[in-house]
Amino acid sequence: MKGDRFKEKFGKDVSDAVKAQITGAPNFVLGMTTNNLVNGARLVGAQPLVAFESHVQKLLKNTESKTKTN
């Protein structure tokens, strides 16, 4: 990258990825964020659409059950 225009933002992204043990691409994090932490699943590498659909359905089911109990 030329210049420092995005240096701070890029540095934060790299730092966040290291904290989440993300070392390559593609990586997808699916979940709910609480206190700046993601509680959910991480999909590593190229994944078929069905993998994403499955994880999203689980997240929605968990969210619905928590909403009903509150």
Q: Is residue 52 within 8 Å of 30, Cβ to Cβ?
A: yes
Total domain count for the chain? 1
- In degrees and rounded to multiples of 5, residue 10 shows phi and psi of -60, -40
The CB-side HSE value for 41 (13 A sphere, CA atoms) comes to 13
Q: Give the pLDDT band (50/70/90) at residue 44.
A: very high
| Residue 9 forms part of a structural domain | no
| Residue 36 forms part of a structural domain | yes
What are the pLDDT digits (tens) for 10-40? Answer: 898 888 888 888 888 999 988 887 887 778 8
| Residue 30 forms part of a structural domain | yes
| Residue 11 forms part of a structural domain | no
Which residue range is the domain that position 36 belongs to? 24-69
What are the pLDDT digits (tens) for 48-67? Answer: 999 999 999 998 998 777 77
pTM: 0.64
